């Protein structure tokens, strides 16, 4: 299996996507509980409305995380959901994106984000205010964390 550092970042054009999300500002130590609670609620609301989930779970960050994180968690969908409780319609923004596929455990995501940021600097790319993680591999309690794949996306400023 390749090491997380073996995957090279790239710049891609992203067409945007319709999403169903829950938005919050959360302390870093509350992220896991927020994710668990939110994804369960999202799946229920989306199913009740007959909206199709078209991709894996994601977390969109409004600015790089600090001790508190302003984020949306959700799923891409085939059409907008109707606002119900905390669940609201949203979008993943279209544009040029610096992308890196993170291989392995979530506890190494920060190092991969730092690597992507450094790569953007080396290539003269200006990061925008929005970044998101797509959890390509759905985690399960009995899986090897080394098998996880997460796509890191950082919208670029022009």
Q: What is the DSSP string of 26-82?
A: EEGGGHHHHHHHHHHHHHHHHHHTTPPEEEEEEEEEESS--SEEEEEEEEEESSPPP
* CATH number belonging to domain 17-92: 3.20.80.10
pLDDT at 146: 85
Cβ neighbors of 81 (< 8 A, separation 6 or more) are 20, 45, 46, 49, 51, 87, 88, 89
Domain positions in the chain: 1-16+94-131+154-158, 17-92
What is the phi/psi pair of residue 101, to 5°?
Answer: -90, 120
Give this prediction's pTM: 0.91
pLDDT in single tens digits along all 158 residues of the chain:
445 556 899 999 999 999 999 999 999 999 989 999 999 999 999 999 999 999 999 999 998 888 899 999 999 999 999 999 999 999 999 999 999 999 998 889 999 999 999 999 999 999 999 999 999 998 777 878 888 999 999 999 97
Q: Which pLDDT belongs to residue 6?
A: 60
């Amino acid at each position: 299996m390749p090491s997380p550092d073996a995957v090279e970042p790239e710049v891609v054009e992203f067409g945007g996507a319709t999403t169903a999300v829950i938005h919050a500002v959360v302390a870093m130590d509350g992220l896991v509980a927020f994710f668990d609670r939110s994804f369960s609620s999202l799946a229920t609301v989306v199913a009740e409305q007959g909206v199709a989930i078209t991709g894996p779970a994601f977390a969109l960050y409004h600015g790089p995380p600090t001790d508190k994180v302003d984020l949306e968690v959700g799923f891409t969908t085939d059409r907008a959901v109707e606002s119900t409780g905390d669940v609201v319609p949203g979008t993943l923004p279209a544009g040029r994106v610096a992308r890196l596929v993170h291989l392995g455990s979530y506890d190494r995501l920060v190092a991969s984000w730092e690597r992507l940021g450094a790569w953007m600097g080396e290539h003269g790319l200006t990061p925008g205010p929005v970044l998101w993680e797509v959890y390509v591999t759905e985690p399960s309690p009995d899986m090897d964390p080394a098998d996880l794949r997460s796509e890191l996306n950082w919208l670029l400023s022009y």
